[in-house]
Amino acid sequence: MSDSPTRVLHAEGLVKTHYGESGPTHAVRGVNLSVAQGEFIAVTGPSGAGKSTLLHLLSGLQQPDHGSIWLDGQCTDTWREGRWAVERRKRIGIVFQFFNLVSNLSVADNVELPALLAGMSPKQARSQREELLAELGIVGKDRNMPGELSGGEQQRVALARALVNHPPLLLADEPAGSLDSKGTREVMRLLSRFHERGQTIVLVTHNARLASAADRVISFFDGRIADDAQLDSAPSRKTGTSAVLELKD
């Protein structure tokens, strides 16, 4: 815990149980995690392992039953929903599987909205939007509605929206999960490009091949971190069984 101030994100002892119709589900059962600036971490594991729940906890979209989260060294224990919403806008970009764009707002407005909400001037928001969409290869579609774009294009707009406030942390939950192989390659290439420029990324995916784009892979199994490995030459930091990460689609 002593190093938490230097981390973009630090979590200790996270526990989350969902109470559904079929009884309690222990989705996250005690997770400690530190994310250093500039890391590209993939959290992988089978469906139902608790990956999305973990991401929801890390972004304040759900509250843990136990445990604490620090963002840039700041403890979030006392943050309620409203505070999380404000802090998320500045500090965390989030991309989901189904894009979550506002369907009755244009592409331009979807990207500019979080910037305006965070207090950016309209002029600055527009220039940020133009820059990001050009960078992401969405040209001449600013006035289109999201439904008029392909899945891959919508996900790139979602990425622009997530990055418009230059958040220190980008969280992506199965960002290629609803895309064809071309769209998947596009999104992964863009994530890698932003990472190369220093963007800190935590990517949740059940697809171990996509996970291999990251430089650190956390295998999640049954609500716990089963393995935590650097993908370069650094030795694996094993915390349990490593049998979870099978390289298959």
Sites of contact with ligand ADP (CB under 6 A): 18, 20, 25, 27, 45, 47-53
Residues for the chain: how many in total?
Answer: 249
Cβ closest to ligand ADP, residue 51 vs residue 195: 51
Cβ closest to ligand ADP, residue 11 vs residue 27: 27
Cβ closest to ligand ADP, residue 130 vs residue 222: 222
Q: 87 exposed, middle or buried (CB, 10 Å; 0-12, 13-18, 19+)?
A: middle
Euclidean distance between CA atoms 247 and 249, whole angstroms: 7
Cβ atoms of 111 and 164 within 8 Å: the answer is yes
Least distance to ligand ADP, CB of residue 53, Å: 3
Euclidean distance between CA atoms 25 and 138, whole angstroms: 41
Cβ atoms of 79 and 62 within 8 Å: the answer is no
How far is CA 32 from its chain centroid? 17
Cβ atoms of 54 and 65 within 8 Å: the answer is no
Cβ closest to ligand ADP, residue 4 vs residue 207: 207
Least distance to ligand ADP, CB of residue 80, Å: 19
Least distance to ligand ADP, CB of residue 247, Å: 18
Least distance to ligand ADP, CB of residue 11, Å: 15
